[in-house]
Structure 1
Amino acid sequence: MRSLLVIAAALLLTGCGFRPLYEAGGSSRAMQAHLAGVEVAPIADRLGQVMRNRLMDRLNAGGTPDYRLTVTLEQSTQGYGIRPDAAATQEQLTLVAHVSFTKLDGEELVFVEDMRARTSYDLVLSDFATVTQREDSARRLALELAERIHRRLALYFTARETEGQ
């Protein structure tokens, strides 16, 4: 009975116009072609290099660019979990990506968006351990934001396809 319900639900989803953003095993060929046409502008600092490398891997950039993706990163930290001696025991790291996506023919601005990611880590007695935690946390946030940017681009191209442009 359950398998019959699953099959019926799958048939209903296909009938209502539901289309997955990604196919099994990765993006569809049409989506890969759209994403390969995105040029990723250099991003400042080491975190920017990490993010740009992830974006270029995910976009399979290398084709003739039709679009330019420009990202600037802003990083901030805030201490909390205050001890009686006024020292912080934890730190919250926030990474903000200011994203602009531009169509190259005519330099038409497609969208501008700010994306945020946060994490926290413990401040320990070892300065080396604290710096290592901060750098690792920042790297993970940059990779997370790169994935979100990739999904945002995929949503843009999917919406464009369904509009028939």
Structure 2
Amino acid sequence: MSWVEWQDRPALARAFATLLGAFALSGCIQPLYGPLSAGGDVAGELQAIEVTPIPNRLGHYLGNELIFALNGTGSHVPPKYKLTVTVRETVQTPLIDTVTGYPTAATVVVNADYVLEPVQGGEPITKGHAIAAVSYDRTSQRYADIRAARYGEISNAKTLADQIRTGIAAVFAGRG
């Protein structure tokens, strides 16, 4: 097949060029949880993180999710790092019933700022920000509204823990 025939098939030529580019870049990808160049692995470094207590109910949920996300094995590893998280929670009511004047939906928005630093002290290894939001319907049943808001907090805690763990793991993988 000559070059002129390849030019007559632009979709096939683009697919071939994309495939060629993918093969060329395949050596540039490093697995996030793979071994580090300096020895050890990212999972081992994550297990060595101590999560400082986070105040309030949302902090309790987030702290438990972080402990499980960072060291889900349950093994006791001496802490090398300290993770400090501060959270801010707001509830927004974007929809209001025009007849009753009460909100018919709400959104629980949680912002979390985190700092990872060595236990011995010194410069922080990383700082970051994570955000999560969950919406729920509000009804005239008060208990159902409270439970839905609590479920939103729990769901946000899981999302934030995943974002924080991924951010920290990326820093460890980048440091090698």
What residue in structure 1 maps to residue 174 of structure 2? Answer: 159
The match for 1:143 among 129, 150, 158 is 158
SS in 1 for 2:139: coil
TM-superposition CA deviations, 1:105-155 (whole Å, max 9, x none): 333222322211112111111111111100001100011100111101100
What residue in structure 2 maps to residue 49 of structure 1? Answer: 60
The match for 1:36 among 26, 29, 47 is 47
SS in 1 for 2:44: helix
What residue in structure 1 maps to residue 90 of structure 2? Answer: 76
SS in 2 for 1:106: coil
SS in 1 for 2:82: strand
The structure with the largest strand share of the pair is 1
Q: What amino acid sits opposite 2:124 in the alignment?
A: L
The match for 2:103 among 80, 88, 92 is 88
State how far apart, in whole Å, the 2-side matches of 1:150 and 1:62 are: 18
Q: TM-score, normalised by structure 1?
A: 0.80
State how far apart, in whole Å, the 2-side matches of 1:10 and 1:21 are: 19
Q: Which region of structure 1 is more displaced relative to structure 2, 150-159 or 48-57? A: 48-57
**Identical amino acids, percent of aligned pairs:** 28
Q: What amino acid sits opposite 1:98 in the alignment?
A: D
The RMSD of aligned alpha carbons is 2.2
Residues 9 and 62 of structure 1: is their aligned pair in 2 closer, same or farther, counting only changes over 3 Å?
farther
The match for 1:99 among 114, 130, 153 is 114
Q: TM-score, normalised by structure 2?
A: 0.76
Aligned residue pairs total 151
Structure 1 gaps, min length 5: 24-28
